[in-house]
Structure 1
Amino acid sequence: MTDSNASPHGGISLEDAAYHTGHDFPGGVPALAQRMAMSPNTLQHKLDPRNTTHKLSLREAQEMQAITQDFRVLHAMAASNGFIALSLGHTASGTTISEVLAMVKEFGDVLTAVNAALEDGKVSLNEMRECERQSAELFAAVNSMLRTVRSLMPRQPA
């Protein structure tokens, strides 16, 4: 796929995100289509960014992400509007210390990505995307730690 449909805020386009989500699923589009109770040919057409007659609906995009656990479409949609999407998780998990360590690791990954991007004095679109991806992972680690800390607060009487 190309950068021609890239989000105005950087990041992968919605069309490319959907294409890669389907094609990167184990077994590819045919396996995903089966899980979605859809013809593989139809899903293939819906995921083709050049196809003008078949379009992936919002519900299908949501179902595809739920099945694949690949949220590039969500992140592309958020990025195209100048936002980032962070997982809230379902339950607080882990210990605060392990989550702080995870946060420090993610911060190191952000610094590594920024350093690599700045090495030659020019930042490519892919380098910027990597910085954004690593930053989103740091934000998710911070949210996870805060969720755990919040879960340890005493409940306030109603």
Structure 2
Amino acid sequence: MNITDAAYATVHDYPGGSESLAPRMGSSAAVLRNKVNPNNDTHHLSLAEAVKAVDITNDDRILEAWAASRGYALVKMPQVFECCDSAIVEMMGKAWETHGDVGREITKTLEDGRVEFTEVTRVESRIFAHAQVLFNLAARLRGMAE
């Protein structure tokens, strides 16, 4: 998902849509709709407004789309109270699962002897998901450090 589509989805998927979100952002519903309309070239969501929309909606798609467009994997840092031995075991299970997802996607990509751009995108998506789990695991261990 690109940043423009993510902004549109963030506003329109919010319960009540732009009519509900706009007053919380200090805007009118019509102006907010125009700012996230991908077909509108005259109104744009500012960086401060995008941050406010993410904070209010608790929807990270704009942030995730921006990170992905820059080649980054976004990792949500766990709260210290979430860090314990059982959380580490849970994260290890998730790491094994996402590692398998990467392998399966690569196998599917190579089955026909051709590599297509859409297949590479799917492999990258699995790799980013796996990296997120591994970075989250490291952050949990850091949270447990004394």
Shorter chain as denominator, the TM-score bin is 0.7 to 0.9
Q: Which residue of 2 aligns with 1:52?
A: 41
CA shift, 1:119, in A, is 5.0
1:90 aligns with 2:79: yes
Higher mean displacement: 31-40 or 54-63: 31-40
Q: Which residue of 2 aligns with 1:5?
A: none
Q: Which residue of 1 aligns with 2:97?
A: 105
1:134 aligns with 2:123: no
The two structures, once aligned, show a CA RMSD in angstroms of 2.5
Number of residue pairs the alignment of both structures matches: 142
CA contact (8 A) 1:107 1:138 kept: yes
CA contact (8 A) 1:65 1:71 kept: yes
Using structure 1 for the length normalisation, give the TM-score. 0.72
Deviations 1:18-52 (A, max 9, x none): 11222232333323224323211111000012212
2:138 to 135, 146, 149: 146
CA distance change for structure 1 residues 81 and 105 in 2, over 3 Å: closer, same or farther? Answer: same
Provide the C-alpha distance between the structure 1 equivalents of 2:92 and 2:12, rounded to a whole number of angstroms.
Answer: 35
CA contact (8 A) 2:22 2:29 kept: yes
Provide the C-alpha distance between the structure 2 equivalents of 1:67 and 1:113, rounded to a whole number of angstroms.
Answer: 35
Using structure 2 for the length normalisation, give the TM-score. 0.77
Higher mean displacement: 84-93 or 34-43: 84-93
CA distance change for structure 1 residues 114 and 62 in 2, over 3 Å: closer, same or farther? Answer: farther
1:24 aligns with 2:13: yes
Provide the C-alpha distance between the structure 2 equivalents of 1:44 and 1:21, rounded to a whole number of angstroms.
Answer: 11
Provide the C-alpha distance between the structure 2 equivalents of 1:130 and 1:31, rounded to a whole number of angstroms.
Answer: 35
Q: Which has the higher helix share?
A: 2
Residue ranges of structure 2 left out of the alignment (5+ in a row): none
Provide the C-alpha distance between the structure 2 equivalents of 1:132 and 1:27, rounded to a whole number of angstroms.
Answer: 34
Provide the C-alpha distance between the structure 1 equivalents of 2:141 and 2:47, rounded to a whole number of angstroms.
Answer: 34
CA shift, 1:106, in A, is 2.2
